Amino acid sequence: MKLTFKKSEKLTSRIIIDLIFAEGKTLKKYPVLLKYLPVEFRDKEPLKVVMSVPKRRIKKAVDRNRIKRLMREAYRQNRMPFKEMLIKEEKSLALFFIYNGKENPDFTAIEEKIKLILKELGSVISKETKEEL
């Protein structure tokens, strides 16, 4: 299976992003914070994602863009088990990753935190599914 990050996987809806902040749940693994919300998308995509690095924390745009690239790459490489679980359980989620650190991280640090977050989110979603039954 291809590991590309398609345009259809990017969350662009301002309405859904506002909903994530208003009603979404949060998972934290410093320096990465994840806000998520179960949403049904018109295009039947199980996951849509947006990455953010606050200007207040990282001043230079070059550094912010680099961190967002690292986060996207770590997510892209590690999303398949989580995505397959969502497809199997017929759920769909909107994810909003936020970098909260003050320093410029390396790829391994970010990848480790994103793996932990996706693993924890998978267990939370599977618990919710079992409780629904």
The model's pLDDT over 49-96, given as tens digits with 9 standing for 90+, comes to 999 999 999 999 999 999 999 999 999 999 999 999 999 989 999 999
Residue 43 belongs to some domain of the structure: yes
Q: Examine the pLDDT at 119 and tell me if it is beyond 90.
A: yes
**pLDDT tens readout for residues 5-60:** 899 999 999 999 999 999 999 999 999 999 999 999 999 899 999 999 999 999 99
**pLDDT tens readout for residues 106-116:** 999 999 999 99
User: How many domains is the chain partitioned into structurally?
Assistant: 1
Beta strands 47-52; 93-99: pairing state: parallel
Instruction: Identify the pLDDT of residue 133.
Output: 65
Amino acid type, 132: E
Whichever domain contains 103, its CATH number is 3.30.230.10
Residue 1 belongs to some domain of the structure: no
**Residue 40 sits in which domain range?**
10-132
What one-character-per-residue DSSP string does 57-87 give?
T---HHHHHHHHHHHHHHHHHH-HHHHHHHH
Asked if residues 52 and 99 have their Cβ atoms less than 8 Å apart, the reply is yes
| Cα 50 from chain centre | 7
Instruction: Identify the pLDDT of residue 100.
Output: 96
Residue 2 belongs to some domain of the structure: no
Q: Omega into 31 within 30° of 0, i.e. cis?
A: yes
Instruction: Identify the pLDDT of residue 124.
Output: 93
Residue 103 belongs to some domain of the structure: yes
Residue carrying structure tokens 């770590």: 74
Distance CA 22, CA 25 (A): 9
Instruction: Identify the pLDDT of residue 127.
Output: 87
